Chains A and B, each alone.
Chain A
Amino acid sequence: MTNPMEIPFFAAGAVAVIATLLAITRTIAVHALLYLIVSLLAVAVVFYTMGAPVVAALEVIIYAGAIVVLFVFVVMMMNLGAQDSETERKWLAWRAWIGPAVLSALLLFEVIYLVVRAPVSATIGSISTPKEIGLALYGPYLLGVELASMLLLGALVGACHVGRISRSGREVQQ
């Protein structure tokens, strides 16, 4: 317990786990999304305490600030009411929990095993200047960057196709 970042690290980790559990069990979709945002912010704090400030900032900007806004946008468009909350509640029957619980338990055991066997050092890197980020992205992680950009290009082409406008200027009916 010599690292001063350890207490914030565990506190943020606990917040992330609790917020994620609440995000799964809430029956009102917007409330669930709020907990998801809290969970993402907690994960950002975890990254920060591990010495990765840029990853923490990107987690906030991209996940909490852009992707979940889109989720909220879609949920608002659907205009869910009390009836949908009731359906949601029925879906959360205890039988639905067995499969995911078994799989998560396996992962949990694996994590515990890894932590007990070989405790990793608290810091995962100290990249914080734009130059270092660029060198890392277009150096050792080039393949990942290219794969992600191809995936995004595919998604973009798909979105353009779905939202295309015909010659007469009207949206194409699917």
Chain B
Amino acid sequence: MISHPIASIIGILIVALSLSAFLIWVERRLLALWQDRYGPNRVGPFGLLQVLADMIKIFTKEDWIPPFADKPVFVIAPAIIMVTVLMSFAVLPVAPGIIVSDLNIGLLFFLGMSSLGVYSIVLAGWASGNKYSLLGGLRAAAQMISYEVFMGLSLMGVVLLAGTFNLTRIVEAQRGLWYVVPQFLGFVLFLIAGVAEARRLPFDLPEAEAELVAGFHSEYSGMKFGMFFVGEYLGITLISSMIAVLFLGGWNGPWLPPLAWFLIKVFAFLCFFILLRASLPRLRFDQLMSLGWKVMFPLALANLLVTGAIVLAKK
């Protein structure tokens, strides 16, 4: 099943974008279920058309740029998150042959794009010319620096076992045993870093509604706000897909076709992300920083050292 790269590009773009739009509905319904209420259930069957209604609303809203904002940066910022997240989907092996670019440095490309995504939040916070937004942007910058370091380190155990940065080959190396077993600590660390990377509860400090109004996107309206919103859901989809690829054997699995396995794994993690939001309180900012540097970072280093020693001893 080898498909044309352009077909892959179009397919992955359409699926990723519509999946993240659909996720907004899934999140609202699931949150409602866990909180004993109904959620959106009026528009269409099961409220499925709610997303469409929201989109029509957001497209027809006035696109307002505040006079005190730095106009060019204010306009560029929401585009950056969309570009960087969608670029990361390019190296994602969905199923055998369904990949846009089978880069040799796929994993490093993903890390690079995710570290560039921070600029979107930071610059939006700065360009808004608003104290709360600026605080949100500052928090985003500090949070990303604390979490990116051990995010990269937690993946190096997988790289050691597979011996490559190529994501397709990492998936193929997991045919016998998924890396979640030998790399369980790495899996947990990456999951936590992924939540922080996607800025979801309990790590959503850049936009903490209760204290910062809406943080970096207070001043945004219309489709510019929509881009941050969809960008966030695309980010969750990306992190869930990366967890599936790196630790749960990607498309590997018995009986069902590869694509189905991949989607099942991704969807399970998407629901897990939503469950986190429904069940955990938000951390304080200094707790978040000290957790990152004092607990997660040493654990990731220890995981890397032990994995390296075991790989060396086996030879």
A contacts, CB < 8 Å to B: 28, 30-31, 34, 37, 53-54, 56-58, 60-61, 64-66, 69-70, 72-73, 76-77, 79, 128-131
Contacts and interface: CB of A to CB of B under 8 A. Distances in A.
A76 to B, nearest CB: 5
B202 interface: no
B115 interface: yes
Given A70-B145, A72-B141, A65 B159 contact: no
A119 to B, nearest CB: 27
A77 B138 contact: yes
Contacts of A66: 115, 145, 148
Secondary structure class of chain B's binding surface, majority of residues: helix
Contact of B116 (A60, A70, A79, A128): A60
A129 B112 contact: no
A65 B115 contact: yes
A30 B160 CA distance: 39
Give the size range of B's interface with the partner: 35 or more
A67 B293 CA distance: 17
Contacts of A58: 108
Contacts of A79: 134
Given A72-B119, A73-B142, A77-B138, A130 B112 contact: no
Enumerate the 6 nearest inter-chain pairs by beta-carbon distance, A residue then B residue, closest first. A65-B115, A57-B108, A60-B112, A73-B141, A128-B104, A61-B112
Given A65-B112, A69-B119, 19 more contacts: A30-B73, A31-B73, A57-B108, A57-B112, A58-B108, A60-B115, A65-B116, A69-B122, A72-B119, A73-B138, A73-B141, A73-B142, A76-B138, A76-B141, A79-B134, A128-B104, A129-B165, A130-B164, A130-B165
